[in-house]
Amino acid sequence: MSATLTIGNDLTVHRLGFGAMRITGHGIWGPPADREAAIRLLKAVVEAGVDLIDTADSYGPYVSEELIGLALAPYPAGLVVATKAGLTRSGPGKWHPDGRPQHIREACEGSLRRLRLECIDLYQFHRPDPDVPFEESVGTLAALKAEGKIRHVGLSNVTTEQLERARAIVEIVTVQNRYNLADREHEDVLEACERAGIGFIPWFPLATGDLAKPGGRLDRIAAAHGATPSQIALAWLLQRSPVMLPIPGTSSIAHFDENQQAAAIVLTAEEYAELDAAA
């Protein structure tokens, strides 16, 4: 299986990226406890060869984008920084959808400024807003693309029906939904992405639920590879689909290094099947 995936026919990235949500404070709110450590982590991510970093204006809010711009701009060639709009914050753990065209436009301008970019390679609609017609929100992304402010459009937290409605308006190159070894609610969305050649970015990719209990199948397979359950969970995701783009996030360089090692793990057909049947 290929180690890379080409997004939108022109952005080729390694299939194990980095999620920059956790370089913020507790509850994804405010600045990190150690700002310099967060900057060192971001630099280490790029030095390790990661070429897809995923963030959002709501992480902090604004903190994650600001740190990425500070640590990494001007960006090395080939690095894709993906961000999102469509959620606002009112406190730690408090998220509110806002898909109004005016808000998305203002959010895009803010992300361009914080990330120190003239064009965002991948701009994603973070979550459909039940109070705003879906086509209005997606149409705004299409307009921003036509204006040259974003290069490609992605979606997050959508159904297969919403994906098709969006594709009727603008090319969609990625979908980011919750998906992991223990939670495959959005299997149909992944399958739709496979058929269309759309990158699928699973958020919360390291969740393993009861599968990682001592003596359980995930625990046994991890021991056989000299790996952690989380590494095996990532390896399973990478083998699950050629369009899979996991973006495990962390605030620690040691944990980041551990996650990256998962790309070298190859599960046997028997191990993969055993885990696949476990959900």
pLDDT by residue for the chain (279 residues), tens only, comes to 789 999 999 999 999 999 999 999 999 999 999 999 999 999 999 999 999 999 999 999 999 999 999 999 999 999 999 999 999 999 999 999 999 999 999 999 999 999 999 999 999 999 999 999 999 999 999 999 999 999 999 999 999 999 999 999 999 999 999 999 999 999 999 999 999 999 999 999 988 877 888 888 899 999 999 999 999 999 999 999 999 999 999 999 999 999 999 999 999 999 999 999 876
Q: Tokens 């903190």 label which residue?
A: 63
Residues 182-214: b if buried by 16+ CB within 10 A, e if exposed? beeebeebbebbeeeebbbbbbebbbbeebbee
Q: Is 272 part of the annotated catalytic residue set?
A: no
CATH code of the domain containing 40? 3.20.20.100
21: three-class secondary structure by DSSP: helix
Residue 151 inside a domain? The answer is yes
Number of domains in the chain: 1
Question: Could you tell me the two tokens for 160?
Answer: 């297969």
Residue 63 inside a domain? The answer is yes
Residue 277 inside a domain? The answer is no
Centre a 10 Å sphere on the Cβ of residue 75 and count the other Cβ atoms it contains.
18
- Residue among 59, 75, 123, 179 flagged as catalytic: 59
Residue 219 inside a domain? The answer is no
Structural domain range at position 69: 4-206+242-249
> Quick one: the chain helix, strand, coil %, rounded to 5?
45, 20, 35
Residue 65 inside a domain? The answer is yes
Across the strands, what pairs with 174? Answer: 154, 199
Question: Could you tell me the two tokens for 256?
Answer: 């980041």
